[in-house]
Amino acid sequence: MERKYTSEVDGSSGEVKVQGWVRDKRDLGSIMFLVLADRTGEIQITVKEDEVGEEIMDRAESLNRESVISVTGKVEENEQAPGGSEIHPDSLDVLSESEKPLPMDPRGKQDASLSTRLDNRFMDLRNSKRRAIFEVRNAACSGARGWFEENGFMEVHTPKITVSGTEGGAEVFPIIYYEKEAFLVQSAQLYKQLMQAAGAEKVYEITPQWRAEKSRTPRHLTESFSVDMEMSFIEDQEDVMEVQEKVVKAMVEEIKDSASDALDELDIDLKVPELPLKRLTYDEALEIAGEKGEEIQWGEDINIKAMRNIAEKLEEKGHDFYFIKRWPVGERAFYYRPDPEDGKYTQTFDLNYRSWELSSGGQRIHDLDLLKKRIEEQGMDPSEMKFYLDAFRYGMPPHGGFGMGLDRFVASILDIENIKEAVLFPRTPDRLQP
């Protein structure tokens, strides 16, 4: 008999076969209630001694919670059963026995710390609320991918092992590459730019990236995932921002279309953003932060407290997603283009959701001499980046792009405080397994 998901079973299903985990068990002597859970939901299995005989009764009695079972039986309506129906088994087979005690309660009835949950993530993810987060994440990726494909972008897969950092600073992970030192990439940055020299014009990638972050915050991972995009023949950063906002809107729409049950399960009322998104300049953002009592020195990054103040003001006006653009040159990586009219600023932006920075992007430098100068100004050595710089010598079009943190996108729109919840098996300074 073909297996059915519990969500497909109702009072009219007749004889069915279901398979899953014993999520709960109540033993009343001559009658036993099992809750069988699969990826779609749960159904009650009602085992009555006078219906099933001794062998099945004994097997049901000896079951530990979370064992994997296969049950065939007749479905009957029962208003008292969760979901309104129950299965009376003809057969009950144990496919895999679970040990006891369990390392944690996947039902969430007994509190477990985030750390215990992550240590036992395979079991934590059996909880439907936890899994709902990853259904949203899946829909977010589909939404982005769908938009890029419909709009002529090509999905690429760039190398993840490299010879140099991309984002400046010392936050790289060295690896042993035979007798040489190499690094895990901090972003797809250099290679998506090389694809512009290659004439691909419009590329995207959903990719892991690694940063040896020193600080332990609820918004930083050492391994994160980024939705990266790069395109050629742009006028300025505004062309990139238009793509960025359309991608974000498509992601939200796809989540609402294909993961609405997950949103309900997580009790999230997600609004599709109206375009164009609000655009603040860096200077305006500093002003708002100042009005709210958080002074930021011009040229410095906007700290989390200031971001909260800015987000609060924008939320009052109905802007959840918004841009902060025209960042000071000292605040941005070497490849971003300084504003030709005022070199103190760059042609860059961040996209934020409330107080979360989701992405950075902008127009790139495509002039080789200026690029070398900026690399040197940031204390890096251009000779170590020959493979990258060579691509600017033989015809590099004006180009730009963005990198949007997928983990942050998911955490922020679902109102999750700690980014680790939005990652299957998070990597942080303190966590390398499971």
Interacting positions 166-205 with ligand AMO (CB under 6 A): 167, 187, 189
Count of CB atoms situated within 10 Å of the CB of 402: 26
Closest CB to ligand AMO among 38 and 407? 407
Active site residue 220: yes
Least distance between ligand AMO and beta carbon 277 (Å): 15
Q: Which of 196, 244, 355, 359 binds ligand AMO (CB under 6 A)?
A: 359
Minimum gap (Å) between residue 403 Cβ and ligand AMO = 3
SS3 sequence, the chain? CCECCHHHCCCCCCEEEEEEEEEEEEECCCEEEEEEEECCEEEEEEEEHHHHHHHHHHHHHCCCCCCEEEEEEEEEECCCCHHHEEEEEEEEEEEECCCCCCCCCCCCCCCCCHHHHHHCHHHHCCCHHHHHHHHHHHHHHHHHHHHHHHCCCEECCCCCEECCCCCCCCCCCEEEECCEEEEECCCCHHHHHHHHHCCCCEEEEEEEEECCCCCCCCCCCCEEEEEEEEEECCCCHHHHHHHHHHHHHHHHHHHHHHCHHHHHHCCCCCCCCCCCCEEEEHHHHHHHHHHCCCCCCCCCCCCHHHHHHHHHHHHHCCCCEEEEECCEHHHCCCCECEECCEEEEECEEEEEECCEEEEEEEEECCCHHHHHHHHHHCCCCHHHHHHHHHHHCCCCCCEEEEEEEHHHHHHHHCCCCCHHHHCCCCCECCECCC
Coil vs helix vs strand at 351: strand
Kindly report the backbone phi and psi dihedral angles of residue 386, in degrees, each rounded to the nearest multiple of 5, phi listed first. -55, -45
Told to check if 221 binds ligand AMO by CB under 6 A, we report: yes
**CB closer to ligand AMO, 93 vs 415:** 415
| Shortest distance, position 413 Cβ to ligand AMO, whole Å | 13
Residue 338 found at the interface with ligand AMO (CB under 6 A): no
Options 130, 366, 399, 408, the catalytic residue: 408
Task: Name the minimum Å distance from CB 302 to ligand AMO.
Answer: 12
Q: How far is the CB of 223 from ligand AMO (least distance, A)?
A: 8
Residue 20 binds ligand AMO (CB under 6 A): no
> Any contact of residue 361 with ligand AMO (CB under 6 A)?
yes
CB nearer to ligand AMO: pick between 89 and 405: 405
Q: Does 399 bind ligand AMO (CB under 6 A)?
A: no
Q: Rounded to 5 degrees, what are φ and ψ at 267?
A: 60, 45
The kind and range of the H/E element at 185 are none
* Nearest CB to ligand AMO, comparing residues 25 and 408: 408
Judged by CB under 6 A, does residue 237 bind ligand AMO?
no
By CB under 6 A, is residue 210 in contact with ligand AMO?
no
Nearer to ligand AMO, 53 or 379 (CB): 379
Helix, strand, or coil here: 65? coil
How many residues are listed for the chain in this entry?
A: 434
Candidate list 6, 158, 232, 360; residue touching ligand AMO; CB under 6 A = 360
Task: Using CB positions, name the residue nearest to ligand AMO.
Answer: 405
Under the binding rule (CB under 6 A), the answer on residue 357 touching ligand AMO is: yes
CB of 224 to ligand AMO, least distance (A): 4
> Is 358 a residue that touches ligand AMO (CB under 6 A)?
yes
Our CB check for ligand AMO shows the closer of 167 and 284 to be 167
**232 tagged catalytic:** no
Let me know if 408 is a catalytic residue.
yes
> How many whole angstroms separate alpha carbon 376 and alpha carbon 334?
9
Residue 219 annotated to the active site: yes
Kindly give the pairing relationship between strand 15-27 and strand 31-38.
antiparallel
Q: Taking CB under 6 A as the rule, does residue 36 contact ligand AMO? A: no
Task: Kindly tell me which residue out of 25, 117, 121, 220 binds ligand AMO, with binding defined by CB under 6 A.
Answer: 220
Site for ligand AMO in 134-173 (CB under 6 A): 167
Residue 397, preceding peptide bond in cis (omega within 30° of 0) = no
Question: Is 357 part of the annotated catalytic residue set?
Answer: yes
Among 224, 309, 346, 347, indicate the residue that binds ligand AMO (CB under 6 A).
224
Range in contact with ligand AMO (rule: CB under 6 A) among 85-93, 136-144, 269-277, 401-409: 401-409
Query: Considering 137, 219, 354, 366, which one is annotated as catalytic?
Result: 219
By C-beta, is 273 or 361 nearer to ligand AMO? 361
Catalytic one among 117, 126, 130, 211? 211
CA atoms within 13 A on the CB side of 278: 19
Residues that are catalytic: 211, 213, 219-220, 357, 360, 408
Binding footprint of ligand AMO on the chain (CB under 6 A): 167, 187, 189, 211, 213, 220-221, 224, 226, 357-361, 401-403, 405, 407-408
